[in-house]
């Protein structure tokens, strides 16, 4: 056992991250298979594996109803997996280590930086302490607000308490797991519940780097300016949110079918749920128009922001790719965002992330087309939702074949680990060797 631990510790951090999520997925699966974890009979072990990966990856796709299938203890295990996956399994271990020491061991720090995608210069110890404190405070406040609203609509005290805690953590971790089989469709017109869910989701999805930056800016404006990363994240989040809301509000028949007082809220919520990758919905997804499905798919692919609880390609990657396109069209030899030159390493990382993401999405959709009886747009939507760890579905998740479930499990895993991190874990990295030759121009 000790030898195995030593061998694991010598692996590249990306491989340790990838193996870590597999380990927790298996632990969650074994726990959910225990007889006292569920209240329904005849559940297949593959469905428990699906639930475990979905919770750990904070996706929210389910093949069986969480509330109907699992006991309170089973729901607690699901919630624990959501929390572990939401802020990263390395966070808890790092926090315990920091309780005894001011710094993290180099090998521990390397894994944590890889898991969060943080540069070597980032103050990791401060980041992890602030992350834990921020998470506890936000989830607690969210639970209090949700409890108040659930009680106001007549839920019993016990049910309201558990529902508030569960949905607060699920929202902040952008997991999309709920205790209601129709998600939040029953609350499409409930302004307070919609806004609490949205605020929690944005707080998690925008990322802890931004909140560290914003806190420093608020406390000391002259000494602390918002970083380029924070500016790109905030502008992309606001811009995409407004564009998505306006497009759904102006063109979607399902939105227009609602009372006028609910239309803006519903359009905003569906944009938010795809953008943050939280995966809750207040209107049914399957009946939406093709244009709305295409828009939501695009938002799911772009996804949330780095070092946050959400998934997807990431807003900074999207911003960098737009910067590359704009610079090329303008004839510039460097990429600039917010009047700052973007490092070549960042451009390469964004390009690799986009290429790998498209590859995984293509393979996932192709395999679903080969193994399922669903329509192409349903399979593409399911694959994008799984890879982006979103959890929205056009209604085919519960009817997936065994092969389809395994494909979606793999997509959720790739989405949580990250296509680039997974790619690095597969390919042995070697230090760059000087070639002594000049770059050769390639016609593209």
Q: Does 436 reside within a domain?
A: no
Q: To 5 degrees, how large is the angle CA 336–CA 275–CA 376?
A: 110
- Cα 323 to chain centroid, rounded: 24
Q: What pLDDT is stored for residue 444 in this prediction? A: 61
Task: Provide the residue range defining the domain that includes 35.
Answer: 9-423
What would the two tokens of residue 106 be? 């180099």
Long-range (24+ apart) CB contacts under 8 A made by 36-39 are 36/71, 36/73, 37/70, 37/71, 37/73, 37/74, 37/77, 38/69, 38/70, 38/71, 38/74, 39/68, 39/69, 39/70, 39/71, 39/74
Q: What pLDDT is stored for residue 124 in this prediction? A: 78
Q: Give buried/exposed letters for 273-287 (b at 16+ CB in 10 A, else e).
A: bbbbbbbbbbbebee
Q: Does 438 reside within a domain?
A: no
Q: What pLDDT is stored for residue 170 in this prediction? A: 98
Q: Does 373 reside within a domain?
A: yes
Q: Does 441 reside within a domain?
A: no
Q: Does 432 reside within a domain?
A: no
What would the two tokens of residue 44 be? 């297949």
In this structure, what DSSP letter does residue 337 have? Answer: E
Q: Does 439 reside within a domain?
A: no
Q: What pLDDT is stored for residue 302 in this prediction? A: 98
Task: Report the predicted TM-score, pTM, of the whole model to 2 decimal places.
Answer: 0.93
Long-range (24+ apart) CB contacts under 8 A made by 368-376 are 368/404, 368/407, 368/408, 371/401, 371/403, 371/404, 371/407, 372/396, 372/400, 372/401, 372/404, 374/399
Q: What is the mean pLDDT of each run of 10 residues along the chain (444 residues)?
A: 57 84 97 93 95 98 97 97 89 72 73 73 79 94 98 96 98 96 96 98 93 80 74 96 98 96 98 98 97 98 94 96 95 91 93 96 98 97 98 97 98 92 71 62 64
Q: Does 4 reside within a domain?
A: no
DSSP 3-state of 442: coil
Q: Does 224 reside within a domain?
A: yes
Number of domains in the chain: 1
């Amino acid at each position: 056992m000790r030898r195995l631990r030593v061998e694991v510790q010598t692996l590249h951090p990306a491989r340790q991250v990838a193996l870590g999520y597999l380990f927790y997925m298996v632990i969650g699966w074994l726990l959910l298979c225990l007889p006292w974890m569920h209240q329904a009979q005849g559940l297949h072990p593959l469905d428990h594996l699906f639930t475990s990966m979905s919770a750990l990856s904070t996706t929210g796709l389910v093949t069986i109803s969480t509330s109907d299938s699992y006991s309170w203890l089973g729901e607690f295990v699901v919630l624990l997996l959501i929390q572990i996956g939401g802020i990263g399994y390395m966070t808890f271990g790092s926090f315990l280590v920091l309780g005894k020491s001011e710094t993290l061991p180099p090998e521990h720090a390397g894994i944590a930086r890889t898991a969060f995608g943080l540069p070597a210069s980032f103050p990791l110890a401060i980041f992890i302490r602030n992350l834990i404190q921020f998470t506890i405070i936000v989830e607690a406040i969210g639970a209090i607000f949700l409890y108040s609203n659930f009680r106001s609509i007549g839920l019993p005290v016990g049910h309201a308490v558990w529902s508030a805690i569960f949905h607060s953590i699920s929202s902040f971790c952008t997991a999309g797991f709920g205790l209601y089989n129709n998600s939040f469709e029953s609350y499409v017109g409930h302004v307070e519940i919609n806004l609490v869910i949205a605020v929690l989701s944005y707080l998690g999805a925008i990322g802890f780097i931004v909140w560290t930056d914003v806190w420093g800016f608020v406390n000391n404006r002259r000494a602390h300016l918002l970083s380029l990363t924070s500016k790109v994240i905030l502008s992309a989040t606001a811009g995409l949110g407004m564009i998505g809301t306006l497009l759904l509000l102006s063109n979607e028949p399902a939105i227009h079918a609602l009372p006028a007082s609910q239309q803006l809220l519903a359009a905003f919520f569906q944009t938010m749920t795809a953008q943050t990758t939280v995966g809750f919905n207040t209107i049914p997804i399957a009946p939406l128009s093709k244009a709305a499905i295409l828009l939501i798919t695009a938002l799911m692919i772009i996804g949330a922001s780095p070092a946050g609880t959400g998934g997807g390609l990431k807003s900074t990657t999207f911003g960098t790719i737009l910067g590359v396109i704009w610079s090329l069209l303008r004839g510039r030899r460097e990429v600039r965002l917010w009047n700052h030159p973007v490092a070549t390493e960042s451009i390469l990382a964004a390009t690799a992330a986009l290429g790998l993401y498209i590859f995984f999405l293509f393979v996932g959709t192709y395999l679903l087309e080969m193994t399922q009886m669903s329509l192409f747009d349903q399979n593409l939507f399911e694959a994008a939702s799984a890879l982006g760890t979103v959890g929205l579905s056009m209604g085919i998740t519960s009817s997936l074949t065994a092969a389809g479930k395994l494909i979606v499990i793999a997509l959720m895993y790739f989405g949580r680990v990250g296509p680039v991190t997974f790619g690095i874990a597969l390919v042995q990295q070697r230090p760059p060797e000087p070639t002594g030759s000049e770059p050769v121009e390639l016609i593209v």
